[in-house]
Amino acid sequence: MLTFIAATKPDLMPDAAEPYLWALAVCGLLGAAGGLAATWFLTRQTRRLAQREAAVAAQELTNKAEEEIRRRESDLNRDLDRRQIEIELMLREIRSHEESLGLLDHQLEQRQERLARETAAIKQARDAMRDLSKSLRKRLEGVASLDGEEIRKQLREEVTFECQEELRALRKELLERSEQDLMQEGKRILVATMQRLAGKPNNDLTATIVQLPSEDMKGRIIGREGRNIKSFEAATSTTLLIDESPQMVLISSFDPVRREVAKLALEGLIKDGRIHPASIEEFVNRARQELDLHVATIGEEAVDRLKISGLHPESIKLLGKLRFRFSYNQNVLDHSIEVAQLCAMLAAELGLEPNVAKRAGLLHDIGKAIEGEYEGSHALIGADFIRRYGETDIVVNAVAAHHAEVKPETVYAGLVILADAISASRPGARAESMTSYIERLGRLEKLAMTMPGVQLAFAIQAGREVRVVVQPSVVTDEQAHALAKELRKKIEEELDYPSTVKITVIREQRYTETAT
């Protein structure tokens, strides 16, 4: 302060105090300088501290900004991945829709083609209807001059034309039914039918036993020098086997009718006691007459059992003869009755007339009882026979077609074919001797081995199937198919077998290597 006063107003200060004043001024200047220096230092320190704090704050802001950037980048990446997945799903859906659209386009094209065909058919039918209507109008103008038969004929034609569209729709509905549904329904019907019918096993008989009252009767049957037995065998066409068996003789013949005639004649001779060539001939003739009456009774019993009416007596007589006929040791009459029952049950399941099917099933093998009167297979001669005695065309065709020699014309023919196969192929229905069975299997295998390129052949399933292994280097796939067809034809032409034979041709190549 003093310095300031002395500096600004020197006239106010005494001279003696001038040195002191200068000293004070110097001290004041030094203090001001030190204050300024301290202030500058403090200001600089404060500035540095502020700069450092600002740098720290800026760094924190930078870190926060970078962290925020990284977080947002991560969110963006996740969102991008999610969007890419969604895009891929949408692309898959688009491709799926494109495929569906392509299929729909194809179906639409097919439907359009079908509609075009149907439209053309409808147009054609409409044009035909118009033409018919015009012609009908013209014809009706002169209806007064037509008689009743001509009018009925024209009306019948009109009704037929009007029903064509309905028949076409019905045919389309039937054709569109699933084949699998038809197969399942067929299996259900067959199983339900077969469960309702119990069959009996076959009869393996080629001989008949006749009991004797005493051992002396054997000598009387043989006669002096064998005259009686020779006369008996000549009259009956059978063979008498007289051995050490006590009080019995055996009548042997593959013809069951002859065996039955011989049995009746021999029983009559034994009961009468007079055995010589003249009495043998008499009793054989009497036995034949008795057998004719017995045959008629058997046929009537079969017809009554099935409750069939209106059969001709000759047909009933032939049915009775089937009692003495066997096919692979299956009695033909029992087989015919079984087929008739199966046909009736199948027809009932299918909504057809059971009595017509039963009649066709009973008569289908009647040709096997006809001896020498006709030539041809038993199916054809049986059909010709029943046609002569008033059977309907449906029954006649079913009998003629049951072995596919004639084309089936009705559903009833198919029922007879099916029932015949079921009755003949069921377990226990048919049998054959072991010798003929082995011989048949051997012939089947040998016949298969004669085919070119065949390496091995095996008859399996009791001869119902033959499996043929061919050499793959010799036989191609196409040749294997042709070989199966050719083998089927040979089996049908050269072998005699029950039911069917399945041919399976196996062509296989194997390549084997061993790593050491």
Cβ-contact 419, 346 below 8 angstroms: yes
| % of the chain residues with pLDDT over 90 | 5
Mean pLDDT of 196-203: 52
Q: Is residue 191 part of a domain?
A: no
My answer on whether 57 and 103 are in the same domain is yes
Q: Which of 262, 295, 328 is the last residue of a domain?
A: 295
Cβ-contact 247, 210 below 8 angstroms: no
Q: Is residue 193 part of a domain?
A: no
Give the pLDDT confidence score for residue 394 in this predicted structure. Answer: 92
Amino acid letter for position 27:
C
* Confidence grade of residue 2 (pLDDT, cut at 50, 70, 90): very low
pLDDT tens readout for residues 410-446: 889 888 888 888 777 655 545 555 566 678 888 889 9
Domain containing 412 equals 307-425
Burial of 350 (0-12, 13-18, 19+ CB in 10 A): middle
Give the pLDDT confidence score for residue 274 in this predicted structure. Answer: 82
Structural domain total, the chain: 4
Q: Is residue 328 part of a domain?
A: yes
Burial of 349 (0-12, 13-18, 19+ CB in 10 A): middle
Q: Is residue 153 part of a domain?
A: no
My answer on whether 129 and 237 are in the same domain is no
* Cα angle: 258, vertex 339, 400; to 5 degrees: 80
**Contacts for 261 with CB less than 8 Å, ≥ 6 apart:** 236, 284, 287, 288, 291
Residue 280 is part of a domain; what is its CATH number? 3.30.1370.10
My answer on whether 15 and 104 are in the same domain is yes
Alpha-helical regions (H) of 273-375: 277-306, 313-321, 332-350, 354-363
Min mean pLDDT across 52-61, 70-79, 396-405, 432-441 is at 432-441
My answer on whether 322 and 223 are in the same domain is no
Integer Cα distance of 443 and 459 in angstroms: 9
Q: Which of 295, 330, 352 is the last residue of a domain?
A: 295
pLDDT tens readout for residues 133-188: 777 667 666 655 556 677 677 777 777 776 776 777 766 666 666 555 666 666 66
Q: Is residue 147 part of a domain?
A: no
Nearest to 417 by CA among 400, 431, 429, 430: 400
Helix (H) or strand (E) holding 425: helix 411-425
My answer on whether 412 and 445 are in the same domain is no
500, pLDDT greater than 80: no
Cβ-contact 429, 199 below 8 angstroms: yes
510, pLDDT greater than 80: no
Min mean pLDDT across 63-77, 137-151, 238-252 is at 137-151
Min mean pLDDT across 277-281, 301-305, 329-333 is at 329-333
Cβ-contact 397, 408 below 8 angstroms: yes
Give the pLDDT confidence score for residue 178 in this predicted structure. Answer: 57
Q: What are phi and psi of 257, to 5 degrees?
A: -65, -45
**pTM above threshold 0.85:** no
Helix (H) or strand (E) holding 52: helix 18-141
Min mean pLDDT across 309-318, 419-428, 495-504 is at 419-428
My answer on whether 285 and 313 are in the same domain is no
My answer on whether 447 and 382 are in the same domain is no
Give pairs for 388-394: CB < 8 Å, separation 24+. 389/312, 389/314, 389/315, 390/312, 391/359, 391/363, 392/356, 394/356, 394/360
**Contacts for 311 with CB less than 8 Å, ≥ 6 apart:** 303, 319
Q: Which of 295, 324, 356 is the last residue of a domain?
A: 295
Q: What are phi and psi of 466, to 5 degrees?
A: -125, 130
Give the pLDDT confidence score for residue 275 in this predicted structure. Answer: 85
Q: How far is CA 183 from the centre of its chain?
A: 6
Min mean pLDDT across 24-33, 86-95, 198-207 is at 198-207
Mean pLDDT of 445-452: 90
Q: Is residue 181 part of a domain?
A: no
